[in-house]
A and B are shown apart, each in its own frame.
Chain A
């Protein structure tokens, strides 16, 4: 049936665009997904909190950072997607084969802990945003954990991807709520295009956090695996690259509107917030009830979205590295490690939120620190791999690309170290 529909749509496009062009357009729609989804998952509970704080505390003055951040995100993700397309292997697979068991083992432990921390913060995001809608966390968290489980265990890659692509559309709620804040566009334009830099610790820490929340270690594994999962080939690469660029731009457009909204309302009125949920609540009297609800709804969507992807991506990555069965097509006993890891992530992620007196802020903070510490390591492995002729053949980085990426890695490493430093200083 799907085929018949495809043919009908194809016929329409054919008549409209002419043979060659429609083929290209159709191919693009068939091949997009991994880049857009990965980037958008990155706008998770932690990301939205960071953007809200950036806007609320520093107004429009940090908007310009989104331009270089978008560039860096494109550079990093392009390499991952290229490795996936050319080698046909996931990142943890390549790391294991090139760097051996010992390095991979410790790397996977670090990745598990980081992703567990992130998952906890996603469930915290779900709990908090549902509480705005008047639903107790003792209902929302177990229900969403069950939903996440069901979605992934019962779905296949194709259907799950469609759900995820739909979730990406919901991010537009932030754009709408951004407009509801009645921004002063000329001020926004000049703030966006004129970099402001201040040498105080708070400002620097915020810049670091913005970069850190946009480029996370797990994304590289997830992006590469989903490119491989989709069965993309080297011929498809131009489309994959477009997908990555489109995704990277989209995620930062959303970030732009979150910062904008919080700057135009909270910063202007001198309101201090601690979290994304504070932002949503504080928005009501300033931007209207609907803007606040849209903001909270966006947070719920983002948290749920990331909570669906993180556990499954982690389980896949680890099983791939250790050679364990890792397919949802298999029964529990045929893939015990895979299901155990997956279950453990959801169980701990949701369970810890429900325990009374859990220091959630501290957990999120430490997961952020490990995130930051792990990122440079992963990036160095990636660069070594992407320059390995035996793996990449003629698709290795060119000298210009290498220059840009090593520079990027150096800057990110410095920023990550700075973030860890500031975070530790903050406690």
Chain B
């Protein structure tokens, strides 16, 4: 194309992968060396640049890999700097390199910006200094039609009938996480973008993936993110993810989860697996877990957590705050502190707001609220949800038949019951 100032024309700055695939590569003498089958990029870079190409040779139909040093890119075409009878040696694929068509085109990727799984219809390169850089992944219908060869026809019909102009749906490479094969995920672990996602979004994505991708994505997460994600995942998927892990890894992740969520998960696993995981855990945590596991899931005892602050009545505000600060990482609840006697009977409750507002040397017995709302361990979900609504609480303590404090139910753990009541 005879454009005198090509770089000022927008469309000449970018080129689609589908426009390049199958193109003839011409050598300096004007002979065709072969056709382009695939491009190789180095994915360690923020915007990977093309480092090689796969060609089907013109003369003997053989498939070979060449380094990009043998090519330059001008006027929308690759030109080979070698002659078709003097071929450079085969290129070896480095660990950080991958074949674009094989690894990306038509495959699923995670769009970490939109927190969605998308299918790749096309790839877009930026042309700079006669080199190509992978900058966008095309996931739109427009791109699909381009691949199919119906873009012009559809575009014409839509313009004529609806005055509608189709546009590309491009995702910046910065927000793309490849998932198509387990090896790929290992390869890109250095620039793992899954950590940018909210655990709830990650959980949705994991549920939408197939079994193998699920495993690969889950294993690529650090322990903390894995635990947070697991808390948000559907129980059935939780079980399959945990059963695929070694007992050791599983117990590491489960220890990071909140007690009540972890107990629910263990309740769904096979007894042998649970025993193995409990053996791997620290003794205190394992004991807490066993106590929670003894309660049926749909009653108060099965919903509660045992990681909450409790103090004796003569403990001072300063001491209580100090203790909460020290244990905060392991507590599922810090908003309420419960005041108990030696036999763990509930005497009163103090909110964090009250602790902060009170004088440091005041005793808890002086500031606590003695009208404590609590439920029995045998109480059912529906009634507990009603209590939450009625009293506007963030958490409800759970007591046994002797009115000893056993645990606390967080509002969060009843969300699924409440959501059902709201007609969700």
Given contacts A231-B240, A233-B211, contact A101 B106 (CB under 8 A): yes
Q: For chain B, residues 79 to 125, give those with C-beta under 8 angstroms from any C-beta of chain A.
A: 105-108, 116-121
Within 8 Å by CB of A88, from B120, B139, B147, B213, lies B213
Contact with A along B118-143 (1 / 0, CB 8 A): 11110000000000000000010100
Contact (Cβ within 8 A) A228 B119: no
Within 8 Å by CB of B210, from A89, A101, A323, A327, lies A89
Taking the closest CB of chain B, its distance from the CB of A182, in whole angstroms, is: 49
A residues near B117, Cβ cutoff 8 Å: 323
Contact-residue size bin, chain A (C-beta under 8 Å from the other chain)? 20 to 34
Contact (Cβ within 8 A) B147 A323: no
Contact (Cβ within 8 A) B210 A228: yes
Contact (Cβ within 8 A) B211 A101: no
A252 at the interface (CB under 8 A from B): no
Taking the closest CB of chain A, its distance from the CB of B209, in whole angstroms, is: 8
B212 at the interface (CB under 8 A from A): yes
Contact (Cβ within 8 A) B107 A327: no
Given contacts A231-B211, A231-B236, contact A323 B108 (CB under 8 A): yes
B residues near A105, Cβ cutoff 8 Å: 144, 147-148, 150
A87 at the interface (CB under 8 A from B): yes
Q: How many A-B residue pairs have CB under 8 A?
A: 52
Q: Which residue of B lies closest to A88 (CB)?
A: B210
Contact with A along B297-322 (1 / 0, CB 8 A): 11000000000000000000000000
B residues near A154, Cβ cutoff 8 Å: none
SS of B interface (majority): mixed
Complex-state Cα separation, A327 to B144, whole angstroms = 21
Q: For chain A, residues 49 to 104, give those with C-beta under 8 angstroms from any C-beta of chain B.
A: 87-89, 93, 96-97, 100-102, 104
Contact (Cβ within 8 A) A87 B144: no
A residues near B147, Cβ cutoff 8 Å: 100-102, 105
Contact (Cβ within 8 A) B208 A96: no
Complex-state Cα separation, A265 to B298, whole angstroms = 57
Contact with B along A101-112 (1 / 0, CB 8 A): 110111000000
Taking the closest CB of chain A, its distance from the CB of B16, in whole angstroms, is: 13
Q: Which residue of B lies closest to A232 (CB)?
A: B211
Contact with A along B202-214 (1 / 0, CB 8 A): 0000001011110
Contact (Cβ within 8 A) A3 B119: no
Contact (Cβ within 8 A) B118 A323: yes
Taking the closest CB of chain A, its distance from the CB of B99, in whole angstroms, is: 13
Taking the closest CB of chain A, its distance from the CB of B58, in whole angstroms, is: 23
Contact with B along A202-239 (1 / 0, CB 8 A): 00000000000000000000000000100101000000
Contact with A along B230-250 (1 / 0, CB 8 A): 000000110010000000000
Q: Which of A87, A104, A231 is most buried by chain B, counting CB atoms within 10 A of its CB?
A: A231
Q: How many chain B residues have a CB neighbour from A under 8 Å?
A: 29
Contact with B along A270-301 (1 / 0, CB 8 A): 00000000000000000000000000000000
A1 at the interface (CB under 8 A from B): yes
A residues near B210, Cβ cutoff 8 Å: 87-89, 93, 228
Q: Which residue of B lies closest to A234 (CB)?
A: B211
Within 8 Å by CB of A100, from B106, B118, B237, B297, lies B106
Taking the closest CB of chain A, its distance from the CB of B37, in whole angstroms, is: 13
Taking the closest CB of chain A, its distance from the CB of B100, in whole angstroms, is: 13
A322 at the interface (CB under 8 A from B): yes
B366 at the interface (CB under 8 A from A): no
Q: Which residue of B lies closest to A158 (CB)?
A: B236
Contact (Cβ within 8 A) B211 A323: no
Within 8 Å by CB of A4, from B212, B236, B296, lies B296
B residues near A87, Cβ cutoff 8 Å: 210, 212
Complex-state Cα separation, A231 to B116, whole angstroms = 20
Complex-state Cα separation, A139 to B298, whole angstroms = 43
Complex-state Cα separation, A2 to B354, whole angstroms = 43
Complex-state Cα separation, A325 to B147, whole angstroms = 20
B423 at the interface (CB under 8 A from A): no
B392 at the interface (CB under 8 A from A): no
A residues near B108, Cβ cutoff 8 Å: 323
Complex-state Cα separation, A101 to B298, whole angstroms = 48
B residues near A327, Cβ cutoff 8 Å: 208
Contact (Cβ within 8 A) B106 A96: yes
Contact (Cβ within 8 A) B106 A322: no
Given contacts A101-B144, A102-B147, contact A323 B119 (CB under 8 A): yes
Contact with B along A10-42 (1 / 0, CB 8 A): 000000000000000000000000000000000
Given contacts A1-B298, A323-B139, contact A97 B148 (CB under 8 A): no
Additional pairs, 9, CB under 8 Å, beyond known A104-B106, A105-B148, A323-B108: A4-B296, A88-B210, A93-B210, A96-B119, A97-B180, A102-B147, A105-B144, A322-B144, A323-B121
Q: List B residues at the A interface (Cβ < 8 Å).
A: 105-108, 116-121, 139, 141, 144, 147-150, 180, 208, 210-213, 236-237, 240, 296-298
Cross-chain pairs A/B with CB under 8 angstroms, 7 sampled: A4-B296, A88-B213, A100-B105, A105-B148, A231-B236, A322-B119, A323-B139
